[in-house]
Amino acid sequence: MSTVGTALVTGAAGGIGAEVARALARRGTPVAAVDSDADRLRATVAEARTAGLPLTAYPADVREGAAVRELVDTVERTLGPIDALVNAAGVLRSGEARALTEDDWQVTFAVNTTGVFHTCRAVADRMVPRRRGTIVTVASNAAGTARAGMSAYGASKAAATAFTKALGLELARYGIRCNVVAPGSTDTPMLAALLPDDAARRSTIGGVPEAYRVGIPLGRIADPADIAAAVLFLISDDARHITMQHLTVDGGATLGV
């Protein structure tokens, strides 16, 4: 993988976003680590910097368009031109569709979909004149496979997926690539809230027939590093002729569909 000039990673305080940020930094890429949880973000970045990794904390809320534009301006002034954007910020409000509140729906879309719009628009405006760059949106296998209790989450990730692919079509003439990585069950704090004990994890791996959910054929829940590896591949020059694609990383949980 060639060294990326500067990368901006959202949702970088923990989970997949933090692992993507660290993985990029291990390869020598200066990383703007972005998250709305300022305290957790600073702790994550401080730990990384102690290990010698070039991460810098930029607390920001991707739901706010003006704040995102200001963020991108600041990152480019302080770290340099952004060559890679990774949209990993996400929230999950679970529950049956009829039980979801308007706030559940609005917050889910504000972060998972509108946040992607805000960051992509602000970063793409910088990439286009330079005629280079790559964008990866971390979506979910729930975007294409119905999951009970995850209607808002799946819908928001489906929208973010469609947006990212359409953006990839529009930006292709400038040499900018846009792709999607769709994780399945991954060992993150978000998953821990859904699967609080070993029995719940075993059920996820084995399948839940009453919820019309198959298990995970590879027999394990993903590590964040598994998702980060897919993201780094799509950012790399090894994927230089890949755009508008959807790479599912779920151990076969959606049966290759």
248, two tokens = 């599912």
Rounded CA separation 127/61 (Å): 21
Q: Is 153 a catalytic residue?
A: yes
Closest CA to 236 of 95, 39, 29: 29
Q: Which of these is catalytic: 58, 153, 174, 212?
A: 153
Rounded CA separation 247/255 (Å): 13
Q: Is residue 196 packed enough to be buried (19+ CB in 10 Å), middle (13-18) or exposed (0-12)?
A: exposed
Sheet holding 246-249, edge to edge: 55-59, 31-35, 7-10, 84-87, 134-138, 177-183, 246-249
Closest CA to 8 of 132, 128, 119: 119
88: left (phi over 0), alpha (psi -120 to 50) or beta: alpha
Phi then psi for residue 201, to 5 deg, are -70, -40
> Which sequence positions are flagged as catalytic?
153
